[in-house]
Amino acid sequence: MHRETMTARQRMLKALDHQTPDRVPIDLGGNQTGIHKFPYQALLAHLGIEAELETMDAVQQLARPCEQLLQRFHVDTRYIAAGAAAGFDGTIVARERDGRLWHDLTDEFGVTWSMPDDRPYYMDVSHHPLAHSSLEELAEYPFPRGDDSGRFQGLRNRALQLRNETPYAVVSGIAGVVYETCWYMRGLPQWFIDMLTQPEFCEALLDRTLQFWLDWFRVFLDEVGDLVDVIMIGDDLAGQTGPLFRPSFYREVVKPRQKQLVQYIRSRTDARIWYHTCGSCLEYIPDLLDNGIHALNPVQISAEKMDPSELKAQFGDRLVFWGGGIDAQHVLPTATPQSVREHVRRNLAVWKPGGGYVFNNVHNIQAGVPPENIVALFDAAYEYGFYD
């Protein structure tokens, strides 16, 4: 019978330092490690837990897991997040378009995200504010202020409460989205055209988003840089089969901006930096390490060249893998609970030696995943995650 000998925070810090904790830390509840509202509600009913549905991410329609569920699954993380600027109106507005009811959210950058009422699974971008803008118009576009004090109201008190009154690792919500914000504003097809025809537009827009996040992190780290254990940043760089755009463009244009942000964060805090990119990102792992990140998420093991054994052998001494607990495309949604358990057992046998691993599903648990499989996922992570 296994027994825990560490607090959740001790466990997490050991794993992040590539040392062997008592068991593998377990994560649930972040913007990329969360659970969609529909499977969350089914899971609560399955477990007999009574809790109100609270949406913590409107775009992805993610539920904020209740404390009872987090304790049931032995989750070692608790999240804090900054908010919107003072005066920002993030109201979701219902509008009729083409005979269909839509729910629209316009963010601080002027990007509108929309979800159909008859299929309320998540929001997609429906308006790109810079879709037709020139370089001169970009210079005049009113960006939000990253250092608006309203974003960080009460943040330190929330972090202090987690740090002083609970045993859990304190993890930030996602931030530092330097690259993806650009194509949200421009539109992906036009952004890809820009890469080839006017890279100076890309550089100018990247500089604006970088400055936003540098300003944001200056205040964030003033407030809680001494209290958080893990800081989450990220931009999707890869798809199912490899990079989403030319690696040369990444290395010449995107990477220097990302590296500047990572190095700034590292200069201000001892927190570990967790970088999110979906897909077959093997090509970019050396670059991300060079930027200064500590952990990679979600480790999409169903993508090409993302075999756990090869990744662990090649980078396991330098990179913490955060995720990769199961094939979330082909196993978690459709397999039996016993198959889910076996898949988790096999993956943990690869990931856990020597520390450097935090358990999570690959990205968020999506609509349609049976509650029995979610229980099997986390129960297996706990059972097989102990170090002998």
Residue-wise pLDDT tens digits, 19-70: 999 999 999 999 999 999 999 999 999 999 999 999 999 999 999 999 999 9
Assigned domain for 61 exists: yes
Assigned domain for 127 exists: no
Assigned domain for 119 exists: no
CB 270 within 8 A of CB 170: no
Rg (CA), the chain: 21
User: What does pLDDT average to over the chain?
Assistant: 97
Host domain of residue 78 = 8-85+146-177+209-384
C-alpha 43/C-alpha 62 separation (Å) is 14
Phi–psi pair at 321, nearest 5 degrees:
-95, 125
* Alpha-helix runs per DSSP H in the chain: 8-16, 37-47, 67-72, 135-140, 155-165, 180-186, 188-197, 199-224, 247-249, 255-268, 285-291, 308-315, 337-351, 371-384
Assigned domain for 93 exists: no
Determine the pLDDT at residue 2: 85
Does the pLDDT value for residue 80 go beyond 80? yes
Phi–psi pair at 377, nearest 5 degrees:
-60, -55
Assigned domain for 49 exists: yes
What are 235-289's pLDDT values in tens digits? 999 999 999 999 999 999 999 999 999 999 999 999 999 999 999 999 999 999 9
What are 284-307's pLDDT values in tens digits? 999 999 999 999 999 999 999 999
CATH of residue 159: 3.20.20.210
Determine the pLDDT at residue 313: 98
Q: What is the mean pLDDT of residues 163-187?
A: 97
Counted domains in the chain: 1
Q: Closest by alpha carbon to 77, among 342, 318, 347, 378?
A: 378
pLDDT-derived band at 1, boundaries 50, 70, 90 = confident
Phi–psi pair at 115, nearest 5 degrees:
-135, 130
Assigned domain for 222 exists: yes
pLDDT-derived band at 209, boundaries 50, 70, 90 = very high
C-alpha 70/C-alpha 131 separation (Å) is 42
Q: Give 239's contacts (C-beta < 8 A, 6+ positions apart).
A: 278, 279, 280, 303
Determine the pLDDT at residue 163: 96
Does the pLDDT value for residue 4 go beyond 80? yes
What are 312-350's pLDDT values in tens digits? 999 999 999 999 999 999 999 999 999 999 999 999 999
Determine the pLDDT at residue 388: 85
Determine the pLDDT at residue 41: 98
| The CA-based dihedral angle spanning residues 304, 305, 309, 311, taken in that order and rounded to the nearest 10 degrees | -130
Assigned domain for 137 exists: no
Q: What is the mean pLDDT of residues 118-147?
A: 97
Assigned domain for 287 exists: yes
Work out the burial of residue 88: count CB atoms within 10 Å of its CB; fewer than 13 is exposed, 13-18 middle, 19 or more buried: middle
CB 215 within 8 A of CB 195: no
